[in-house]
Amino acid sequence: MNEYDSNRISDLMASIEYKKVNEVESADCFIFNTCHIREKATQKVYSDIGKIKKIFKDKKQKPIFVLAGCVAQAESSMVFEKSDFVDIVVGPQAYHKLPSLIKNYNSNNNKILNTDLDVSNKFDSLENYKNLTSKVSSFITIQEGCDKFCKFCVVPYTRGPEFSRDPEQIVNEISNLVNNGTREITLLGQNVSGYNNKGINLAKLINQIATIKSLKRIRFTTSHPNDFDEELIGLFNYQEKLMPQLHLPVQSGSNKILNLMNRKHTREFYLELIDKFKNARNDIQFSSDFIIGYPGETDKDFEETLDLIDKVKFSNSFSFIYSQRPGTPAVDYIQISKEIAQNRLEILQNKLFDLQIKHNESKINKENKVLLENLTSKGDQFFGRNEYMQPVFVEGSEYVPGDEINVTIYSCNKNNLFGLAKN
């Protein structure tokens, strides 16, 4: 979502005649769009601000420095106490105001803080600025915020309550992206499966989007397991533009830990849901998120997570040691030791890694439909992705980004597939 937001910020800045530069020294405005989901990301922000400050230490003109995104939202005016280099702090639901905030800053040089959470205002205002993205595979935010309040998560506090964008606005923005060259769209939301605006749910929205003629592929992320109904599951059975790969975070395979996390579902419910998707489309693949070392996690709980991974056989996943986030309930729980958590993470990641390799190897000597995104720097090879989101390098330079071709895979490594186009 930050990538989408950053692109929109770039569109906004273009409207007041700012353009991107490649040299750090030649910039007269910096905008850091930040993530607060893990402690490490937050620390990195302040360290990177320090690096920019150092570069401009002896320069006559100080650049305008904007801190945007979820760190800005969470830390609010504290940002100014932590770094005197920051001039404007703007939250993820207020960045559409940047053109006027920057103009105001230019005229009176006072520090500016804007952390309003009025998301509908943001999207109405963004409609006035054309989305200039021209990538083959593009993101679009359709839903923001979350009402689930998992006990480890900052999203409900930084992005605010659930909000679903107007469907007409979404279809218009995607049509514009498709006119600019987009062939694959990923619909984004913190809880995207809960999308609902004026009776249009995610299934209905996807069917509307699928009518855009030159759009070839549709994906969506990230979903909460509790927000799938038969209509949405059934879509995988008949909607040909919906790709057979689903990111479905589970976080833990232990009912005790799921309860402590306030995930509001059990492992049995999750596994049943996986079966329902497989019944709808038997070649569907899953990826997930795992939090390891959550307060209260015992060896038995961890074993249950490994067991769930064995049962689902995820094609790839994200896994992290639990990170204490200020303001969330779990921050006050008794933490488990770092060594134990690190050890468990390694075991879990090895298992996920083995599954990923097996998943990649299973594609060798098979035909894959690949959507080509760009010619690589080698000049004689294209980069693209198959229907399951696996990165594929295809020999040849005779294609055009956006082509969808049949490719036979001849080898793979952990992350990539390598193939030849089928004549």
Question: Which residues here bind ligand SF4, judged by CB under 6 A?
Answer: 146, 148-150, 153, 155-156, 190-191, 224
CA-nearest of 204, 118, 205 to 161 is 118
Query: CB under 8 Å, gap of 24 or more: what pairs does 50-56 form?
Result: 50/83, 50/85, 52/24, 52/85, 53/83, 53/85, 55/24, 55/25
Q: Which is nearer to ligand SF4, 224 or 281 (CB)?
A: 224
Instruction: Quote the least distance from Cβ 301 to ligand SF4, whole Å.
Output: 18
Q: At what angle do helices 267-280 and 230-238 cross, to 10 degrees?
A: 30
Cβ proximity to ligand SF4: between 149 and 410 the closer is 149
| Shortest distance in whole angstroms from residue 231 CB to ligand SF4 | 21
Please state the closest distance from residue 36 (CB atom) to ligand SF4, in A. 12
Say if residue 128 is exposed, middle or buried (CB neighbours under 10 Å; 0-12, 13-18, 19+).
exposed
Please say which residue, 186 or 390, places its beta carbon nearer to ligand SF4.
186
Nearest approach in angstroms of CB 153 to ligand SF4 is 3
Give the tokens for residue 130.
């054309």
**Contacts for 266 with CB less than 8 Å, ≥ 6 apart:** 255, 258
Cβ burial of 246 (10 Å; 0-12, 13-18, 19+) is buried
Nearer to ligand SF4, 137 or 328 (CB): 328
Q: How far apart are CA 199 and CA 194, in angstroms?
A: 12
Q: How far is the CB of 336 from ligand SF4 (least distance, A)?
A: 20
Round to whole Å and give the CA distance between 124 and 118. Answer: 11
CB of 250 to ligand SF4, least distance (A): 11
Cβ nearer to ligand SF4, comparing 156 with 419: 156
SS3 state at 121: helix
Q: Cβ closer to ligand SF4: 252 or 360?
A: 252
